[in-house]
Chain A
Amino acid sequence: MKLRIAQLLVLGLLVLFWYVMTKPGLVPPFYFDKDNRAAFFFGEPQKVFWVVVDWFLSGEIFPHLGITLLETALGFAIGAASGLGIGLWLALSPTASAIMDPYIKGFNSMPRVVLAPIFAVWFGLGIWSKVALGVTLVFFVVFFNVYQGVREVSPNLIANARMLGASKRQLLRSIYLPSAMSWVFASLHNAVGLAFVGAVVGEYLGSSMGVGYLILQAEGTFDINTVFAGILVLTACALALDSLVGTVERRLMTWQPKAGQTEKV
């Protein structure tokens, strides 16, 4: 509880500092030559707040937020599923992994955001070009974790399951998959963030809907308060998604030792 209070205090101090520094006429200008310039460049917290409130009260934000979240969810789901599938396949098939290795490495080292304009050409300015960008970002995070996870399954565990009579399929189901899942969940927190990046960057580069589009529009009219409001909403959504992943993780990974709980008899 004390922690929460301290955390809120930090937030309060930051907002106060922001307010004091940007409120025209409160502090004599020491960097800019006019006293409304700070507010122009950095926005004002109370105005940002009212923009957000206004968005939600008028309902103006919902279609945009819905689109952005849909793009994020689709990019995340498709990217994670394909990363899991292809990761399992390549990890279990040494030949395929040897052949694909340079291409995987190449695609991974490529700054994949440069693909965004191409996706816009291929998939149009609707949601699918953003989903595609999200998928390319999410895929590799999940893929490498699954690949690593399967490769690092203890040989003992596999030998034991084989001696207990597990077939190839049963090995996959009861050893490789659960073992890879702990790695997958470690990567999903990253992946959610990247799916968001894909959606918003995609919207920046060309769209007619979405929170990224709102921010882009506001930037075009130098409306810094709206830009900050957009950023705030995106951040809140990313945090909510992250805690959702955390909840699912705790549900599915009950078998993992928590700190201070190991070796308890």
Chain B
Amino acid sequence: MTPKEGPALALADITCRFAARDATSEPYTAVANTTLNIARGEFVSVVGPTGCGKSTLLNVAAGLLEPSTGTVEVFGERLLSAHGVNRRAGYMFQADALMPWRTGIDNVIAGLEFRGVPRAEALAQGEAWLRRVGLAGFGDRYPHQMSGGMRKRLALAQTLILSPDILLMDEPFSALDVQTRQLMENELLALWAEDRKSVLFITHDLEEAIALSDRVVVLSAGPGTRPIGDFKVDLPRPRDVSEIRMTPAFLDLHREIWAAMKEEVLKAYQRQKAV
């Protein structure tokens, strides 16, 4: 490994404007003048009210969306849309993104298959990953035969099998029930602790953000979302997400960040009510 300059992910002065639906209305600015750096091995959560452009930011980081202005640097290299998506990043989507026509194992090894890894080798790795996410023996099931939690595990294995240097996660557990969700959060932390990837984790759940991260970035309400707060989370690791929620240090942090977030959440709520 040759250490290059720069953080794992550097979003500099990003603005995303979307064209208006008709000629009379203004173009919609989802994200405005946002700068965000993620150091190597750092777990950063981005929280903000619903509909504030969190996913837009993540899509920019993934190279799926080209920002109107601003630059994205990955380990010191410019990410240009002409070169396609961010190859060093893995992306876990909010909604189900598994291929319904592939069995569990074939979904897990899809990325290896795209990279031309021989099938026997890919299958061996795939089985190992199924075991790591607790799905050993479920490889021959189709996604529709699995529960929501199992599908999330499958998606996690599908992303992590490629061993991406950066992990982008868009509210990956928001569709799960509370118990499954805490289990998955603990599993994610355990997997992350093994090799400390850089993680950009998007969520609207402040508790989840604090429990998982090294740093929490608070976004303002849209339109024209930008970071309005940056909080260091110096809770000890390893953590148990369900236990850490009870500690005084956690509650202090929660109070502090919520104070910064509250106004934005109310603003977003008012705006949604007005529409």
Q: CB within 8 Å of B: which residues of A?
A: 154, 156-157, 159-167, 170, 174-175, 178-179, 181, 254-257, 261-265
Q: Which of B85, B103, B145, B147 contacts A163, CB < 8 Å?
A: B85
Looking at the assembled complex, report how far the CB atom of B172 sits from the nearest CB atom of chain A, in whole angstroms. Answer: 12
Query: Given A154-B97, A174-B99, A255-B102, do A160 and B147 touch, yes or no (CB 8 Å)?
Result: no
Using Cβ atoms and an 8 Å threshold, which residues of chain B touch A159?
59, 62, 64, 91, 93, 97
Q: Which of B64, B87, B95, B98 contacts A165, CB < 8 Å?
A: B87
Using Cβ atoms and an 8 Å threshold, which residues of chain B touch A164?
110-111, 114, 158-159, 162
22 contacts between A and B (CB under 8 A): A156-B97, A157-B99, A159-B93, A161-B99, A163-B62, A163-B91, A164-B158, A165-B87, A165-B115, A166-B110, A167-B114, A170-B114, A174-B99, A174-B102, A174-B114, A181-B101, A255-B100, A255-B144, A257-B144, A261-B145, A263-B144, A265-B150
Q: Are B97 and A265 in contact (CB under 8 A)?
A: no
Looking at the assembled complex, report how far the CB atom of B53 sits from the nearest CB atom of chain A, in whole angstroms. Answer: 17
Q: Are A160 and B93 in contact (CB under 8 A)?
A: yes
CA distance A163 to B61 in the complex (A): 11
Q: Are A262 and B144 in contact (CB under 8 A)?
A: yes
Looking at the assembled complex, report how far the CB atom of B3 sits from the nearest CB atom of chain A, in whole angstroms. Answer: 24
Query: Given A164-B110, A265-B146, do A175 and B95 touch, yes or no (CB 8 Å)?
Result: no
CA distance A166 to B90 in the complex (A): 13
How many B residues, CB 8 Å from partner? 34
Of B84, B93, B147, most A-chain CB atoms within 10 Å: B93
Interface of B is mostly: loop
Find the A residue at minimum CB distance from B89: A163
Query: Given A160-B97, A263-B144, do A165 and B102 touch, yes or no (CB 8 Å)?
Result: no
Find the A residue at minimum CB distance from B147: A265
CA distance A262 to B97 in the complex (A): 17
Q: Quick one: which of B32-66 are within 8 Å of A by CB?
A: 59, 62, 64
Looking at the assembled complex, report how far the CB atom of A261 sits from the nearest CB atom of chain B, in whole angstroms. Answer: 7
Using Cβ atoms and an 8 Å threshold, which residues of chain A touch B146?
265
Using Cβ atoms and an 8 Å threshold, which residues of chain A touch B84?
162
Return the 8 tightest CB-CB contacts between A and B, nearest first.
Answer: A160-B97, A164-B111, A163-B91, A257-B144, A255-B101, A178-B101, A156-B97, A165-B114
Using Cβ atoms and an 8 Å threshold, which residues of chain B touch A160?
91, 93, 97-98
Q: Quick one: which of B143-181 are within 8 Å of A by CB?
A: 144-147, 150, 158-159, 162
Cβ-based interface call for B250 (8 A): no
Looking at the assembled complex, report how far the CB atom of B52 sits from the nearest CB atom of chain A, in whole angstroms. Answer: 20
Q: Are A255 and B142 in contact (CB under 8 A)?
A: yes
Using Cβ atoms and an 8 Å threshold, which residues of chain B touch A170?
114
Of A163, A166, A181, most B-chain CB atoms within 10 Å: A163
Using Cβ atoms and an 8 Å threshold, which residues of chain B touch A255?
100-103, 142, 144
